[in-house]
Structures are given as structure tokens and as C-alpha cells.
A and B are shown apart, each in its own frame.
Chain A
């Protein structure tokens, strides 16, 4: 038996150089934006620029080195795209801090970015084979549930701005739901791989659509109940919509059955209408959505002022924007977190927003591409689910601030100030990188060692 050539075929190239170049490009753009803010506000390049640039560049270089060592075949674009989004978010927060916007702190966000990169590295180093997660299907489900419920517990839970989604940790608060969604996604992927045949095949045809059997509705009903629970008990519209929507999308990816999507939409609309009739806070959001320009709603607490200020900011920006440091994004309440998108819109205009959305779209595309290229069903589902989660989250928040859909209060991934979301999204990216590494790696060569079945050349 002759040993086949050890060298892998180089066709799906690693593209390391391209990755490094794009990474440097992203850091340079961020630095340019930073300098631009200083020039516009103080007329000089900000003094902290060197430290700032060195630290951001250093973090990303570290992330790149870990990636090159532990996931050499990973997709070359994921890290640079995330770097650019994270960097622009940092600049915007710095810019808001310059004009004393409420709560903005660029240093804190830079620290969170550092921790995010550390978590990214740790995930890549510890998780050598993401399929190990498949063995933890039900454990992940349990962890996800516990994390979701934890803010409701006495002592550790905390109530901020009317939403009970925080727990106290030493040195601040944490939003466990951000991490819960990752755990739940692993659970969904593992569960659907095991059960998808029965969900995909059993059923009967009614008119033009394949309906599943009534007893197979269990999982979707349970998830629906879970997301309604989040909506009612924690008053967190965003996470509720996020979890349920992602589950429906993964169910669709797993079964290729349109009826699940229809059932999901019907269930969600039903639940939302019900919640709107019973709970004030849901109804208030709905009224704001229908009539944001109503003067009465504008002055009301929790009314439409935030939304309208965001819309004003974007209209002020127009096509080309006011330029960094020359608008007034500090007038939008909470411009640092939920409303960072309109704040960017004011300063960079439609042109900048479209570029930003393109960057997000490319990121999601790389994730979906990983899912297509993956060689086993669990990876396919998990990569598809994670990418959809990202896309869905962006849709919900951007749709919300542009008044396309009712505003539900989610963070913009990688941009908004806030530790929990940033950290969990960096872990998400690490998972995607790990999976794209597995998907793009040339076929494994280790099977030769088994001997027995491997005589293939005389």
C-alpha cells in the first residue's frame, strides 16, 4: 500500500495574506474615522489616537494569530468584517462621549472589545472540534433555559428600565439572555439533527401545503411558550422575537417544509396580538409604531421621542451625511446602544449606512456559505442558525429604528455599547470561524491508519 501524497490540494486556499490585508484595512479605516472625529470637533487629531490605534490593532493582530494557528483554513473575511463593525462602533461611542452623551464610554467599550477578543481566542483554542457540541445537545438546552430564567430569580436578578433581563455580577450587570441564545441555538441544532426526519416527512397534504401531524407540533409549541414567557415575564420583546424567529428558520433549514414557517408566523402573530391586548408595554410599543409623529405620544414617557429623534437624525444625514463629529447624534436618547444605527446614519448618511449594511450582509453571507460547504448536518444547521441569528437581529433593530416594524429594543451586533452582547457575539464569531475552518479544510487524511478497509492501490 503506497502512501498517497501528504500534501493537501491547495485549491480552497487559506487566503491568509488577503485576510491580513483586509484586517489592516479595517483597522486603518477605524483610525481614519477616529482622526476625522477629532479634526471635526477640536480641529486637531485626537491625542489618544496612537494608543487607541495600537490597542485595537494589537487585539485584532492577536485574534488573527490565534486564528492562523488554531483554525488556519477559516474563512478569510469573517474577522476583518467584524473588526470594521466593532471599530466603527468604538469610534461612534468615542464621538458621543466627546459631546457628553449619556452613558457613553469609549474606554469601557474598548475594554469589552479586549475581553471579547480573549473569549474569541479561548473558544477557538478550547473547542478544537465543534462537533463536540453535538454531544452536549441537552446540556446546552438546560444551560440556555437556566440563563434565560436567571434574571427572574430573587437576589441575583435586577430590573433596569422596566425590563428584567439583568443579573448582578461582581463589577456590574450581565444580560444572560445574550449567552442563552447561543446555548439554545446549539440545542436547536442538535435536537433537529436527531428529529428532523419525523418533522420533515410525517404529515398529510391539505390543499396546496404539507401539514405536519398534530403530535409533532410539540417542539414548536414549547419554543413558542418559551418566547412568550420571555415576553411576558421579562418584558423583553427583542429576545423573544429573536429566539422564536431563529427556531423557525432552523426548523425550515432542517426540514425544507414551508408549512413550519407558516405555522410559526401564525403562532407568533397570535401570541403578539394576545400580548398586546393584555399587557400595556406591548400595546404602548404598537401605538408608537402606528403614530410616531403624534405630539401627545412624543412627550409621553416611553413614548415616541426616541424613535422620532432617530428618524430626524437620519433625515438630517441625508445621502452623504453630516460627516463625523458634525451632526448632533447626542440628541437621540440612548444613541450609544439601541440607537447607534441612526447616529451613524446622521454622520455618514445613506451611503455610509448602506456600506455598513453591506458589511453585515457579507458577514452573514460568509456564515451561510460555511453552512453550505459544511460536510455534516449538525454543522450545517448550527452555522445556518448562527448566521440567521445575526441577520435576524440586524433586521429587527434596523427595522425597529426605521419604523418598518415595531421597535423592540435589541442591540446592534458589535456596535452598540454593552458588554454582554459584544462578548456573546464574539463567541458566535469564534464558532463560525471554527466551523468554516472545518468546512474549508481539505478532506481529512487520517483514515489510512485503519488499515483494514484501505487497500486501494496495487
Chain B
């Protein structure tokens, strides 16, 4: 093997190694900039495109983000299914918090809006400053407080 070939192989190998790193970063780019392919993603799963498509409107929230408390940073993507929050292990968002009940509150979609409902918790659920006494629609970006946890709906 000539020196030159080996040199070229060496440089090529290092380049490929870095290309791997860059490709890996490309795969996780969605973590930083959000998913840019919501339009193509449902198309890949063809079976039932009609129903969600008909329901999704522009101002509809897509994510529930935990903005305060021990679970801060957790994001749950909203679908058609309700979200339960509480200390119970089968809750969608499991909070370990002495101020939360085991089934504390529920969020569910109705006519394109998300509604928060308190499930008879001991310490109550707060939407912004006011206590939730009956199912109340949740506007985008308004904090919901459950014990020490604060969540928000976002687009």
C-alpha cells in the first residue's frame, strides 16, 4: 500500500466518522426545532386521515407542556384522547406531589377546544388564578396549576 493511498483512506475515514455524527444530529434536529413534517407524517399512516384532518383547525393546541414543578419540561402531544393527571400510576401525567390527588384532573377535547375538569381533588385545580369548579375551556398558554405542577397548552 502506498503512503498516499493510506493517507487518503485515513482522511476519508475521519470525514465519514464526522459525517456519522452530523447525520445523528440531523436525526434529533426535531428535538430542537420541533417537528417540521406534521403534513407528511399522517400521510404515511394512511388508514384514517379524514377524521383528524376534518377536526384539526388552526388555533388548536397541539401539545401540553409542563412549565413548573418537578416534572418541568415534560411534553405530551395532544391527540383525541383525554389526558388524566394525578398520582395514580395509570394517569397520563403521573405527578408525585403531596398536594395532588390520585385522580386529580382531566383534560379532554370537545368541539376543537380542550376542557379542564377537576375530578374532585382535595386541593383543587386552578386555571390561571381561579379555581376550576366545573369543566372549563382552556385557552392557549394559560397556566393550569395542580398541586406544585403547572401545565400549559401550546400550539
Q: Which of A11, A320, A366 is close to B41, meaning CB atoms less than 8 Å apart?
A: A11
Most interface-central of A33, A77, A366, A447 (chain B CB within 10 A) = A447
The answer to whether A76 and B27 touch across the interface, beta carbons within 8 angstroms, is yes
Distance of A446 Cα from B21 Cα, bound (Å)? 39
- A301 close to chain B: CB less than 8 A: no
Q: Of all chain A residues, which has the CB nearest B28?
A: A77
Query: Closest approach, in angstroms, between the C-beta of B149 and any C-beta of chain A?
Result: 11
- A351 close to chain B: CB less than 8 A: yes
The answer to whether B9 and A323 touch across the interface, beta carbons within 8 angstroms, is yes
- B142 close to chain A: CB less than 8 A: no
Q: Of all chain B residues, which has the CB nearest A193?
A: B96
Query: Closest approach, in angstroms, between the C-beta of B26 and any C-beta of chain A?
Result: 9
Contact with B along A439-458 (1 / 0, CB 8 A): 00011111110000110110
Number of interface residues of A (CB under 8 A): 64
Interface size on B, as a range, is 35 or more
Distance of A372 Cα from B66 Cα, bound (Å)? 10
Most interface-central of B78, B94, B110 (chain A CB within 10 A) = B94
Distance of A336 Cα from B96 Cα, bound (Å)? 45
Distance of A85 Cα from B16 Cα, bound (Å)? 14
Residues of chain B within 8 A (CB-CB) of A7 are 45, 47-48, 52
Query: Closest approach, in angstroms, between the C-beta of B24 and any C-beta of chain A?
Result: 5
The answer to whether B82 and A454 touch across the interface, beta carbons within 8 angstroms, is yes
The answer to whether A376 and B45 touch across the interface, beta carbons within 8 angstroms, is no
The answer to whether A352 and B35 touch across the interface, beta carbons within 8 angstroms, is no
- When A10-B42, A376-B94, A456-B110 are in contact, do A131 and B89 touch as well, CB less than 8 Å? yes
Query: Closest approach, in angstroms, between the C-beta of B88 and any C-beta of chain A?
Result: 10
Residues of chain B within 8 A (CB-CB) of A33 are 13
The answer to whether B44 and A39 touch across the interface, beta carbons within 8 angstroms, is no
Residues of chain B within 8 A (CB-CB) of A362 are 21, 24-25, 28
Q: Which of B23, B37, B71 is close to A22, meaning CB atoms less than 8 Å apart?
A: B23
Distance of A12 Cα from B35 Cα, bound (Å)? 8
The answer to whether A13 and B35 touch across the interface, beta carbons within 8 angstroms, is yes
Interface hit among A24-32, A210-218, A261-269: A24-32
- A326 close to chain B: CB less than 8 A: yes
The answer to whether A447 and B84 touch across the interface, beta carbons within 8 angstroms, is yes
The answer to whether B52 and A5 touch across the interface, beta carbons within 8 angstroms, is yes
- B80 close to chain A: CB less than 8 A: yes
Q: Of all chain A residues, which has the CB nearest B35?
A: A11
Distance of A143 Cα from B67 Cα, bound (Å)? 37
Q: Which of A197, A359, A377, A445 is close to B24, meaning CB atoms less than 8 Å apart?
A: A359
Residues of chain A within 8 A (CB-CB) of B23 are 22, 25
Residues of chain A within 8 A (CB-CB) of B112 are none
Contact with B along A404-448 (1 / 0, CB 8 A): 000000000000000000000000000000000000001111111
The answer to whether B20 and A84 touch across the interface, beta carbons within 8 angstroms, is yes
The answer to whether A32 and B16 touch across the interface, beta carbons within 8 angstroms, is yes
Residues of chain A within 8 A (CB-CB) of B18 are 351, 355
The answer to whether B74 and A320 touch across the interface, beta carbons within 8 angstroms, is no
Query: Closest approach, in angstroms, between the C-beta of B75 and any C-beta of chain A?
Result: 7
Q: Of all chain B residues, which has the CB nearest A369?
A: B31
Most interface-central of B17, B44, B77, B108 (chain A CB within 10 A) = B17
Query: Closest approach, in angstroms, between the C-beta of B22 and any C-beta of chain A?
Result: 9
B-contacting residues, A6-20, CB 8 Å: 7-13, 15, 18
Distance of A359 Cα from B16 Cα, bound (Å)? 13
- B130 close to chain A: CB less than 8 A: no
Residues of chain B within 8 A (CB-CB) of A323 are 6-7, 9-10, 13
A-contacting residues, B51-96, CB 8 Å: 51-52, 62, 70-71, 73-84, 89-90, 92-94, 96
Distance of A318 Cα from B42 Cα, bound (Å)? 49
Q: Of all chain A residues, which has the CB nearest B55?
A: A5
Distance of A39 Cα from B82 Cα, bound (Å)? 60
Distance of A375 Cα from B18 Cα, bound (Å)? 34
B-contacting residues, A179-231, CB 8 Å: 193, 197
The answer to whether B6 and A326 touch across the interface, beta carbons within 8 angstroms, is yes
Q: Of all chain B residues, which has the CB nearest A255?
A: B70
Q: Which of B25, B76, B81, B94 is close to A445, meaning CB atoms less than 8 Å apart?
A: B81
The answer to whether A40 and B24 touch across the interface, beta carbons within 8 angstroms, is no
Contact with A along B26-50 (1 / 0, CB 8 A): 0110010001011001101101100
Residues of chain A within 8 A (CB-CB) of B16 are 29, 32
Distance of A29 Cα from B19 Cα, bound (Å)? 10
Residues of chain A within 8 A (CB-CB) of B28 are 77, 362, 365-366, 369
Q: Of all chain B residues, which has the CB nearest A80?
A: B24
- When A8-B79, A372-B74 are in contact, do A77 and B9 touch as well, CB less than 8 Å? no
The answer to whether B96 and A376 touch across the interface, beta carbons within 8 angstroms, is yes
The answer to whether A453 and B17 touch across the interface, beta carbons within 8 angstroms, is no
Can you name 10 A-B pairs with beta carbons within 8 Å?
A5-B52, A39-B6, A40-B6, A324-B10, A348-B14, A376-B96, A442-B79, A444-B92, A447-B90, A456-B108
Q: Which 9 pairs across A and B sit closest by C-beta, in order of nearness?
A: A376-B94, A323-B10, A9-B79, A4-B80, A355-B17, A456-B108, A372-B73, A377-B96, A10-B41
With A13-B35, A22-B20, A355-B21 already in contact, 7 other A-B pairs whose C-beta atoms are closer than 8 Å: A9-B52, A32-B16, A323-B10, A324-B13, A377-B70, A377-B96, A445-B81
